Amino acid sequence: MNHGDALRREILTEGVTPLIGVYDMFSASLAARHYDGMFVSGFGFAASHYGLPDIGFIAWPDMVAFVQRLRLAFPRQHLLVDIDDGYVDPEVACHVVEHLERIGASGVILEDQQRPRRCGHVDGKRILPLEEYLAKLDLVLRTRRDLVVVARTDAGTEEEILRRAAALAETDADVVLVDGVRSVEWIQRVREVLGGKPLLFNQIGGGKSPRLSLPELAELGVDVAIYSTPCLFAAHDAIEDALVRLKREDGRLPEPSAGAAGVKESIELLERNISRHHERPARVPAPAGEATVSAERGSLV
């Protein structure tokens, strides 16, 4: 089974599929110890790769290169990738989708924002005319083979949220995301207009949406939960705290506390990511003179 179908099957099982936002290879290494799925967050990637806010600075080749490194290190994780508005042009969006599918991404999120775009949990967002977004989404859907596609709207008014959610439910998108939803009541209202289409909920620290547990989300009919920034914000706090303490101690490192990470622990974590340490697919023996066939992929090797 390919990566898109593996994620699709997971989404359709009972309960909520959690995907943890990662912003670099180190945060992904830690996330992989606890969860089966990752969300490649535009917020986190813009912060880590450029040191800039998530307002449209990401260049698609940088995102593709990052996802390629992730897939090499984490061959079995679900990888849902934020591609913003598809980098403006519909043809570029399709080109990116083809790249991501070939390197093993599991899915993408395509939003309906206009440039300059903004984080989904801040004010001042502008959205494309619905017909223009649907045309872009349709082209992406016809381009993908097995990749999961999440259709996202950043509509802000009540009427427009429901109108767009209903329209997205009528497409061939696998999942719908209404970003920045402000209350449990609105999750319920969106769920009603989607019918049986899977629903994704985005949780971000300090954002507009309520903080809800996975069981609570399951009760509301949510199928996927992405956590955009727990790793990034935890690193923000921990690094700030470590540097303040280092300055306070005139540059002397503190005594290692029980359970704290050091050189040994970090090396052990990262060594797991070396590709030669991963299990190899089984090979089917072939008669002499014939090619060997991989049992996992059915391809010649």
Task: Give pLDDT tens digits along the chain (301 positions).
Answer: 699 999 999 999 999 999 999 999 999 999 999 999 999 999 999 999 999 999 889 999 999 999 999 999 999 999 999 999 999 999 999 999 999 999 999 999 999 988 877 665 666 678 999 999 999 999 999 999 999 999 999 998 899 999 999 999 999 999 999 998 889 999 999 999 999 999 999 998 888 889 999 999 999 999 999 999 999 999 999 999 999 999 998 899 888 777 788 878 888 888 888 877 787 665 555 555 544 444 333 333 3
Q: What is the mean pLDDT of the chain?
A: 90
| Gap between the Cα atoms of 192 and 108, Å rounded | 24
| Gap between the Cα atoms of 229 and 241, Å rounded | 18
pLDDT at 61: 98
pLDDT at 269: 87
Pick left, alpha or beta for residue 15 (phi over 0 → left; psi -120 to 50 → alpha; otherwise beta). left
Q: Which fold has domain 3-235?
A: TIM Barrel (3.20.20)
Which part of the chain has CATH 3.20.20.60? 3-235
Extended beta strands in the chain, E state? 17-22, 37-40, 78-82, 107-111, 148-153, 175-178, 199-203, 224-227, 283-284, 293-294
pLDDT at 264: 84
pLDDT at 278: 82
pLDDT at 292: 44
pLDDT at 289: 56
Q: How far is CA 187 from CA 10, 130, 162, 222, 251, in A?
A: 21, 21, 11, 8, 49
CA Rg value for the chain: 21
- Contact present, 254 and 244 (Cβ < 8 Å): no
| Gap between the Cα atoms of 81 and 221, Å rounded | 23
